[in-house]
C-alpha cells in the first residue's frame, strides 16, 4: 500500500471517531480507546464520556488547585499524536497542581468552539481559558458544511452550525438543529474562488509532499488572503465571534493564534495575520499570543520537523515546544484567576477556587435549569 492509500485509509478511520451532534454538528464518540494508523507510526485516541479527547472527566468542581479550559480544533485535539503527548498534556505536567480540560474538536471552526464554551463553561469551576484559534478558521467559519469520508470511505457532506453577521455587528446563529450528514452528489461541481483554490491544492497534493513544498517555496503562495483586509467577510465574522466570546468570559484568558506551516517555515508572510489579531487585541480585554513567535526561534531545518511529511498537523516535537511556551503565558493567569471572587461582573476576573456561586449557573449569565424546567435551545440565544 502506497503512502497516499495509507493516508486515505487513516482519514476514513479517523472520521469514524465522530458522531452526530444536533448543536455542534458532530463531536467525538464518547468512551473511545483506539489506535489510529498514521504516517507517524500510529497514535492512541482516548475520549471521555462527554466526547472530547480529554483524559479527565468533565466535572463541575476542580480536582486540583487550578483548572484551565482549552478550546480549539484538530491542532489542539491532537490529530497525529497520542493522548499524553499533545501540548495541553505537556502544559499540565509543567504547571503545578493544574488540571487541563482539552475541549479541542477536530475539523471545527471557531464558531463551533464558541458553542462548546457556551455549553460547558457556565457549569464548571475553572480559573482560566485558552482560545486556540487556527488561522485557517477565517475560512471555516464561513462554511455551512464540510466534506469528509464515511465509514466505507464514501464522500459525505457534514453540516455544521454557522453565524451570520448583521450590518450592526450582531451575530445570529443559524443551521439548528444541525442536519445529519448526507452523501455527496458528485454530479454537482463546486463553484467559486474557494472551489478553484481547493482544486489547485488537490492537484499539487497529488504530486507529492516534496513537490508541494518546492512550489510553496518558489511561489510563496499566501494560503489565507482573507487576512489582507480588515473588511474581508472572513475576518469580520471571526473578529465578531471572538469579541462575543471575550465579552462572555469571567476569568483571565488568552487567544493563542495557531499558525499553518507556511508561516512557521516562512514560505508565506505572517504580516497581515499579525496585524488583524493585534488590532483585535486593542479592542478586547483578552491578550493575543502569537504561537509562531516561539516557533521561529528555532532554525529552519528543525521547523520543518514540526509537521509530518504528508500530514500538516503538529508533530510531537511541535507540541513540546508549544506546551513549553504556552505554559509560561498561562501560569500567571492561573494564579490571578484563583485569587478573584466568584463570577464577578468585570471581564478578566475568575471563579473563586472553593467558593460556589451564589446561584447555580447553567449557561454564562443564565440560571441553571432546575428540575422540570424547559431547557432552551442554544440557537435561541442568538436569534434577533
Question: Which pLDDT score is estimated for 67?
Answer: 97
- According to DSSP, the β-strands at 128-134 and 253-258 are parallel
Which of these ranges, 91-100, 154-163, 236-245, has the smallest mean pLDDT?
154-163
Question: Which pLDDT score is estimated for 156?
Answer: 85
Residue 197 has pLDDT above 90, yes or no: no
Which of these ranges, 90-99, 225-234, 321-330, 339-348, has the smallest mean pLDDT?
339-348
Per-position DSSP letters for 295-308, written without gaps between them = HTTS-HHHHHTTB-
Per-residue confidence at 345, pLDDT binned at 50, 70, 90?
Answer: very low
DSSP3 helix / strand / coil % (the chain, rounded to 5): 35, 15, 45
Residue 163 has pLDDT above 90, yes or no: yes
Question: Which pLDDT score is estimated for 74?
Answer: 96
CA 304 – CA 213 distance, rounded (Å): 10
CA 298 – CA 317 distance, rounded (Å): 12
CA 72 – CA 305 distance, rounded (Å): 22
Q: Long-range CB contacts (< 8 A, 24+ apart) of 274-282? A: 275/227, 276/227, 276/230, 276/235, 276/239, 279/230, 280/239, 280/242, 280/243, 280/255, 281/255
Per-residue confidence at 367, pLDDT binned at 50, 70, 90?
Answer: very low
**How many percent of the chain have pLDDT more than 70?**
73
Question: Which pLDDT score is estimated for 201?
Answer: 61
Residue 17 has pLDDT above 70, yes or no: yes
Average pLDDT over residues 38-65: 95
Average pLDDT over residues 89-116: 97
CA 155 – CA 190 distance, rounded (Å): 14
CA 272 – CA 45 distance, rounded (Å): 35
Question: Which pLDDT score is estimated for 342?
Answer: 38
Which of these ranges, 40-49, 109-118, 371-380, has the smallest mean pLDDT?
371-380
Per-position DSSP letters for 97-162, written without gaps between them = TEEEEE---TT--HHHHHHHHHHHGGGS--SEEEEEEETTHHHHTT-SEEEEE-TTS-EEEEE--E
Question: Which pLDDT score is estimated for 365?
Answer: 29
Which of these ranges, 89-98, 274-283, 361-370, has the smallest mean pLDDT?
361-370
- pLDDT tens digits along 289-305: 999 999 999 999 999 99
Question: Which pLDDT score is estimated for 335?
Answer: 83
Residue 89 has pLDDT above 60, yes or no: yes
Which of these ranges, 92-96, 164-168, 214-218, 296-300, has the smallest mean pLDDT?
214-218
Average pLDDT over residues 179-198: 69
Average pLDDT over residues 325-350: 65
Rounded to two decimals, the pTM is 0.81
CA 191 – CA 308 distance, rounded (Å): 31
CA 242 – CA 244 distance, rounded (Å): 5
Residue 139 has pLDDT above 70, yes or no: yes
Which of these ranges, 147-156, 245-254, 359-368, has the smallest mean pLDDT?
359-368
Residue 247 has pLDDT above 80, yes or no: yes
Average pLDDT over residues 331-355: 50
Average pLDDT over residues 273-289: 97
Amino acid at each position: 500500500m502506497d503512502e497516499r492509500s495509507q493516508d486515505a485509509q487513516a482519514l476514513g478511520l479517523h472520521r469514524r471517531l465522530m458522531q452526530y451532534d444536533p448543536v455542534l454538528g458532530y463531536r467525538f464518540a464518547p468512551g473511545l480507546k483506539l489506535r489510529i494508523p498514521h504516517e507517524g507510526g500510529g497514535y492512541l485516541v482516548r475520549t471521555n464520556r462527554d466526547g472530547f479527547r480529554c483524559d479527565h472527566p468533565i466535572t463541575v468542581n476542580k480536582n486540583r488547585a487550578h483548572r484551565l479550559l482549552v478550546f480549539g480544533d484538530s491542532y489542539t485535539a491532537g490529530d497525529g499524536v497520542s493522548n499524553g503527548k499533545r501540548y495541553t498534556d505537556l502544559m499540565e505536567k509543567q504547571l503545578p497542581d493544574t488540571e487541563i480540560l482539552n475541549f479541542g474538536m477536530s475539523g471545527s471552526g471557531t464558531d463551533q468552539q464558541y458553542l462548546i464554551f457556551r455549553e460547558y463553561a457556565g457549569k464548571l469551576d475553572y480559573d482560566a481559558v485558552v482560545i486556540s484559534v487556527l488561522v485557517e478558521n477565517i475560512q471555516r467559519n464561513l462554511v455551512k458544511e464540510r466534506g469528509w469520508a464515511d465509514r466505507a470511505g464514501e464522500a459525505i457532506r457534514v453540516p455544521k452550525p454557522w453565524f451570520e453577521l448583521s450590518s450592526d455587528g450582531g451575530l445570529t446563529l443559524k443551521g439548528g438543529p444541525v442536519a445529519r450528514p448526507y452523501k455527496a452528489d458528485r454530479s454537482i461541481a463546486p463553484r467559486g474562488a474557494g472551489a478553484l483554490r481547493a482544486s489547485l491544492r488537490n492537484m499539487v497534493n497529488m504530486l507529492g509532499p516534496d513537490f508541494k513544498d518546492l512550489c510553496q517555496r518558489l511561489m510563496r503562495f499566501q494560503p489565507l488572503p482573507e487576512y489582507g483586509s480588515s473588511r474581508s467577510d472572513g475576518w469580520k465574522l471571526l473578529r465578531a465571534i471572538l469579541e462575543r466570546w471575550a465579552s462572555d468570559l469571567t476569568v483571565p484568558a488568552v487567544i493563542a493564534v495557531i499558525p499553518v506551516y507556511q508561516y512557521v517555515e516562512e514560505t508565506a508572510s505572517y504580516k497581515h495575520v499579525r496585524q488583524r489579531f493585534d488590532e483585535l487585541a486593542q479592542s478586547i480585554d483578552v491578550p493575543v499570543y502569537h504561537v509562531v513567535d516561539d516557533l521561529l526561534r528555532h532554525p529552519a531545518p528543525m521547523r520543518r520537523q514540526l509537521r509530518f511529511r504528508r500530514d500538516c498537523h503538529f508533530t510531537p516535537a511541535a507540541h513540546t515546544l508549544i506546551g513549553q511556551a504556552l505554559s509560561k503565558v498561562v501560569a500567571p493567569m492561573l494564579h490571578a484567576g484563583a485569587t478573584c471572587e466568584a463570577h464577578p461582573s468585570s471581564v478578566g476576573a475568575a471563579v473563586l477556587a472553593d467558593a460556589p456561586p451564589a446561584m447555580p449557573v447553567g449557561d454564562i449569565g443564565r440560571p441553571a435549569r432546575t428540575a422540570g424546567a424547559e431547557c432552551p435551545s442554544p440557537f435561541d440565544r442568538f436569534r434577533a
